Amino acid sequence: MNEKIKILVVDDEEVVRRSHIRTLASIHCDVEVVWNGAEALQVMEQRPADVVLLDLRMPGMDGMTVLKSIKEKWPETEVVIITGYPNIDSAKEAVRLGAYDYLAKPVGPDEVINVANGAMTQKKWALRQDRTRQNEGIGACTASTMKSKSFVY
């Protein structure tokens, strides 16, 4: 079964939201758009997205706060920061908080498609790695198994 990729676009500029809808609909994604961070978190509570395209500067809650909340509550969701005000410090902070990528506006349709596909590939890879670890019992140490295993550091 091939489910559509769920993408949430969070940007306070209507022209940006419309552009991303057109671009992502062309590759048959399920796209939802909101204009601020509070709305984004409400949508995520009801319908978590696979990928979030997130602006940094918005009224109310800023993008870094939204990024942090998303990665804490939905760590499997990949977040791409797309900002009209790029700088090294915010890029470093975004990566530290778990952003998949950081792009400077304006971004063209091909760039949006490529970053969405890359983020979804990353998500699938991470989920596969988690399943592999669970199947192999990695990371599931209990007090009794710790006694029987020797760890080398």
Chain segment 70-82, per-residue pLDDT in tens: 999 999 999 999 9
- Both tokens of 112, joined, read 């949006």
Task: Report the DSSP pairing between strands 51-54 and 101-104.
Answer: unpaired
Domain ranges of the chain: 6-136
Q: What is the pLDDT of residues 105-121, one digit of tens each?
A: 999 999 999 999 999 99
Place of tokens 């790695």: 129
Please give the model's pTM, rounded to 2 decimal places.
0.82
Does residue 8 carry a pLDDT above 50? yes
| Preceding omega of 106 cis (within 30 degrees of 0) | yes
- Both tokens of 133, joined, read 């670890």
Looking at the domain that runs over 6-136, which CATH code has it been given? 3.40.50.2300
Taking the CA atoms of 126, 108, 39 and 37 in sequence, report the sign of the dihedral they define.
Answer: positive
State the pLDDT at residue 138.
52
126 pLDDT tier (thresholds 50, 70, 90) = confident
Do the beta carbons of residue 78 and residue 123 sit within 8 Å?
yes
Task: Report the DSSP pairing between strands 6-10 and 30-34.
Answer: parallel
